[in-house]
Structure 1
């Protein structure tokens, strides 16, 4: 009887969480996310788009790896640590899920979410860099909590929103940043290589603990090596799959655009039902795109604040390149590999649609054979581990805002590493849903902050733009005189 009661209770909790999750990630939040992106893009006169090329050049330049000072980390390390938080299983699992449930057109809406997310990511990280501060150890700390607390029009409300944002971030760090990632990694290693989830969990836990002891410096060093290496490996594999199926690519791209903007029910879903193409494509594409690059969530603000550059606008532009690398590059490669390989819509022996990591594996195996499945398993594991260590920093800084006493950081790190083992060894459907909720709730206070301070964001941005233009004119005149 007790077991039956527990089963029923678990089912009710899961049902409740899924209902709340569907409400939070419904049209309201997605409209707010995209609407904020549109508003900021227009308010900033498309400068995030215009300066993307220059920002990418800076991100990859020696200057971005400048000497660390004032308790911070180099701008490049800050970007890689932020990418460690965002480049995760969503780049593999999330993309395939969007394509299955929203149709091939969902890929276009993921790209649209990234395009509009440039301004959102720029704005949130610029503010984080502007209002950062130092703790008792001389370390730079920051996040969306500080501009909310200091500059939100209604101070009391701003303080409440800052506390809520920090609390949601701490909870999200254990969910979407930790246990769900560990679960994905252990499952991939078990299915592909037969490694016991317990062994995977123990190894991940030990590695996480070793890295967290060193704080942001250790996390950033690992991220600066791990993120570029694993991204290049994955991109090479994905590109080979796309080129190997090149004969299907032109028609696949046409189908992607056709279904992305078709106002009528024009595509049969994998379950046999007819999808309202544009609506479903937009819903799933935007939701998975935002879930992947986290533009508007505020998660990147923690690491952006730690960048050693003294120019908040520069940090904002650098940070927004993370959206480009995450969605425009990696997610696009995943999506095109799936579409070009022709595996979208296949079912398993039981008649169920193949989705998630399994679909991406099948796509890669069309050209790479068994090695394709192993590559995806390795990719999921590395992506998941990078997310675990990246989100550890986010959660720790959010907790530090709520509980400034530094001794709480040690407790957090211990609990966080234990959670890795728990996540790797138990089913986590409820945790996945709860994590999704916390991620969505982070966006509310953060987006309100961006909208309320949009005037300040625009003024600082235009002032820096005018300064750069003036310096260019002076430089040209100086060159003319000396020539």
Structure 2
């Protein structure tokens, strides 16, 4: 006979699962994709027109020793902090989950969602720059600031407060438990090190970085993000070179299965076009975070001449996340034939890397997980910190930092499905107030974009 506490936990788990199904299978797909399409046409396909400029700005501003100023971080530091949050364990497990559930065609729909998401994140970054403020000598900004800028009075305060609570829970606490668990489990699989010991080390290093504020976080991300991307990209390219003859087939399967899954899978897994689209769009948006309201906190801190400058740079973050990192993961999985293993999630990615690197595959994944997850931890911590300060004041920041460190430590050993699902739920809930404000900001975004065009 089940105890009362067990029944209550099961009820909570059922409610969370139901909310997640509604959010991620229906509401958010329409809202996120719809906002991206709306801004793509409103801004006349800015992700295409300004792509070359964005690449030049990104590589032109590249530096491992960027200097911040009283007016904020360097543009590259802000981008590196945003990418640190965007490129997490989802980039290894996200593509694998989408392929396992929606077939190879899901990757095509990932690309579609990222393409439109680039326009959304442009609008987010522009508004974050436009409404940023200086508090305690530090430049801050993000959804809570542009929500209250757009909506005055009680409604604005309610939406901003709702967003703050959701992001603190989703990223600062639960999300960081997810990330530290990924590090702990991958190091246990690769080296046999107890997850708790790994968790202690990660928590100590994280605490040191947290205490240094956004400038220390930026100094870490500007060095670690390019290194982690380079290591992962090289590893993927080596595997693709080893399986060169299968890469063309992988691309063929992606495009064909996007519209005719049965032609590639022969009806296996019950994959349909709708299923490929659903999992591709959902995992793509979840990974690159366009429209979720997280990365604007980083882009608000950039010291640029015009908000449009950082808007263009922000688009490059989505491009790197989805069109580079996620795509390489997908090609590795498809070209190595790992899909036939029947595995899903990170285990599917593990099979793909093991098939090419042998026993070194586990070590490679563990190293990548360390980089990806740790940089996400410090990025997500900062996003939560901005909202803690806005909601509860400066004195609450140290308490928040302590609680995040505890979550990192506990999360390394404790994998509770309910925590994972609740993280997804609050991730979804924070999208709603953010996109309400972004859609209401269209006149401002258009005006600032026109100004930027003639600079």
Say which of 154, 178, 184 aligns to 1:180.
Answer: 178
Q: How far has the Cα of 1:343 moved from its partner?
A: 1.2
Q: State the alpha-carbon separation in 2 of the partners of residues 425 and 368 from structure 1.
A: 27
Contact 2:256 2:263 in 1 (8 A): no
2: distance between equivalents of 1:242 and 1:158? Answer: 50
Choose the corresponding residue for 1:237, options 229, 235, 238: 235
2:127 match:
127
Alpha carbons of structure 1 residues 236 and 66: separation in structure 2 relative to 1, 3 Å = closer
Q: Contact (CA 8 Å) 1:49, 1:118: kept in 2 or not?
A: no
SS of structure 1 residue aligned to 2:68: coil
Residue 266 to residue 9, structure 1, CA distance change in 2 (3 Å):
farther
Give the secondary-structure state (helix, strand or coil) at the position aligned to 1:73: coil
In structure 2, what is the Cα distance between the partners aligned to 1:223 and 1:460? 29
Query: How many residues are treated as equivalent by the alignment?
Result: 454
Q: Deviation digits for residues 423-478 of structure 1, max 9, x if unmatched?
A: 111122111100001111111111111111112101110121023xxxxxxxxxxx
SS of corresponding position for 2:260: coil
Distance in 2 (alpha carbons) for counterparts of 1:292 and 1:147:
23
SS at the partner of 2:165?
helix
C-alpha deviations, 1:343-398, integer Å up to 9, x for none? 1131xxxxxx3111121121112222211221011111211111101111000001
Work out the CA distance in 1 between the residues paired with 2:454 and 2:72.
Answer: 28
CA 1:209–1:67: 2 relative to 1, 3 Å: closer
> Does the alignment pair 1:359 with 2:355?
no
> Does structure 2 conserve the Cα–Cα contact (< 8 Å) formed by 1:259 and 1:266?
yes
Task: Please name the residue that 1:384 is paired with.
Answer: 373
Moved more, 126-135 or 66-75: 66-75
Moved more, 3-12 or 441-450: 3-12
Could you tell me which residue of structure 2 aligns to residue 318 of structure 1? 313
Task: Give me the CA root mean square deviation.
Answer: 1.8
Listed as ranges, the matches of 1:183-202 within 5 Å are 183-202=181-200
CA distance in structure 1 between the aligned counterparts of 2:269 and 2:310, rounded to whole angstroms? 46
Local SS of the residue matching 1:207: helix
Shift in alpha-carbon separation, 1:71–1:407, aligned structure 2, 3 A: farther
Contact 2:172 2:383 in 1 (8 A): no
**Mapping of residues 269-348 of structure 1, within 5 Å:** 273-276=269-272, 278-346=273-341
**Aligned-pair distance for 1:268?**
5.1
The residue that corresponds to 1:218 in the other structure is: 216
Q: Unaligned stretches of 5+ in structure 1?
A: 347-352, 468-483
Q: Given that residues 148 and 157 in structure 2 are in contact (C-alpha distance below 8 angstroms), is that contact kept between their aligned partners in structure 1?
A: yes
**C-alpha deviation, 1:156, in angstroms:** 3.4
CA distance in 2, matches of 1:268, 1:36: 35
Which one of 355, 368, 371 corresponds to residue 357 of structure 2? 368
Question: Is the Cα contact below 8 Å between 2:91 and 2:329 reproduced in 1?
Answer: yes
SS at match of 1:145: helix
SS, match of residue 113 in structure 1 = helix
**C-alpha spacing 1:265/1:252, structure 2 compared with 1 (3 Å):** closer
Match of 1:250 in 2: 248
**1:209 matched residue in structure 2:** 207
Q: Cα deviations across residues 254-279 of structure 1 (Å, max 9, x unaligned)? A: 1111111228797357xx54221x11
State which structure, 1 or 2, has the greater radius of gyration over its C-alpha atoms. Answer: 1
Partners of 1:386 and 1:121 in 2: how far apart?
Answer: 20
1:407-422 alignment to 2 at 5 Å?
407-422=395-410
Distance 1:436 1:311 in 2: 34
Distance 2:74 2:369 in 1: 27
Q: Is the CA contact 2:184–2:195 (under 8 Å) kept in the aligned structure 1?
A: yes
> What's the CA shift for 1:155?
4.3
Alignment check: 8 A CA contact 2:206 2:378 kept: yes
Match of 2:52 in 1: 53
Give the conservation status (yes or no) of the 8 Å contact 1:148–1:158: yes
Q: For residues 223 and 62 of structure 1, what CA distance do their matches in structure 2 show?
A: 14
| Structure-1-length-normalised TM-score | 0.90
> 8 Å contact 2:66–2:219 — kept in the other structure?
no
TM-score with structure 2 setting the length: 0.96
Question: 1 CA distance for matches of 2:337 and 2:264?
Answer: 18
- The alpha-carbon distance between structure 1 residues 11 and 96, as it changes in their structure 2 partners (threshold 3 A), is same
Indicate conservation of the 8 Å contact 2:66/2:77, yes or no: no
Distance change >3 Å, CA 243–CA 265, structure 1 → 2: closer
How far did 1:134 drift?
A: 0.9
